[in-house]
């Protein structure tokens, strides 16, 4: 493990240990605020995410998206709006810990549902997702996520479109009190 990874892990564990959040079950219809966290590497992924965003918006939810991209320059196909923010992984300095006004505001939002769309478990997306105070968190099933997420989706083939379909399906059939 590199020194950078060790320091990231130490910072993450310290903040995660002190995190206090209320948990409540929300579904596709009951959620009024929804947050998406993702790592975007191509235009098709962006289109798939926009489809899910539109579905929540049609049900009356306010949706915010925090997306990261691996390069220094924003992709040409990306258009930033008030509810969609994109940050380069390169802007977080040597430590790679997500920070800045836009990231902090997103993490402070009390989402009814927060969905981590990063299938590869990038440090930045996990950091934001785990440290969010969202009531109900959705993520990919793995050993580490079991501690922090409320709904885990197990995927045999890591495909964003299929993952989004599964997330939307489970959120549509989930019963709330």
What is the token pair recorded at 161?
Answer: 């479109």
**Which pLDDT score is estimated for 1?**
64
**Which pLDDT score is estimated for 65?**
95
129 membership: H or E segment, kind and range = helix 123-131
**Which pLDDT score is estimated for 162?**
94
**Which pLDDT score is estimated for 176?**
79
**Which pLDDT score is estimated for 4?**
66
**Which pLDDT score is estimated for 72?**
75
In the chain, the domains with their CATH numbers are 3-7+21-173 (3.40.50.1220)
Query: Is residue 99 classed exposed, middle or buried when 0-12, 13-18 and 19+ CB atoms within 10 A define those classes?
Result: middle
**Which pLDDT score is estimated for 85?**
83
Query: Is residue 62 classed exposed, middle or buried when 0-12, 13-18 and 19+ CB atoms within 10 A define those classes?
Result: middle
pLDDT mean for each 10 residues of the chain (177 residues): 72 71 91 95 89 93 92 73 80 77 89 95 90 94 90 90 95 86
In the chain, helix, strand, coil percent, each to 5?
40, 20, 40
> Residue 72: phi, psi to the nearest 5?
-80, -30
Q: Is the pTM of this model over 0.95?
A: no
62-69 and 136-140 beta bridge pairing: unpaired
**Which pLDDT score is estimated for 12?**
66
């Amino acid at each position: 493990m590199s020194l950078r990874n060790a320091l990231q892990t130490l910072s993450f564990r310290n903040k995660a240990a002190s995190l206090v959040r209320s948990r409540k079950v929300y579904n596709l219809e009951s959620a009024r605020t929804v947050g998406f966290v993702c790592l975007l590497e191509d235009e098709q992924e962006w289109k798939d995410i926009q489809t899910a965003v539109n579905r929540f918006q049609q049900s009356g939810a306010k949706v915010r998206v925090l997306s990261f991209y691996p390069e220094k320059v924003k992709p040409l196909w990306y258009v930033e709006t008030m509810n969609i923010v994109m940050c380069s992984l390169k802007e977080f300095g040597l430590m790679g810990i997500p920070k800045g006004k836009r990231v902090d505001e997103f993490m402070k939002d009390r989402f009814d549902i927060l969905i981590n769309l990063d299938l590869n478990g990038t440090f930045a997306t996990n950091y934001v997702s785990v440290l969010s105070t969202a009531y109900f968190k959705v993520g990919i099933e793995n050993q580490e996520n079991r501690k922090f997420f409320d709904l885990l989706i197990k995927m045999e083939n890591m495909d964003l479109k299929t993952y989004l379909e599964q997330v939307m399906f489970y959120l549509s059939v989930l019963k709330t009190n």
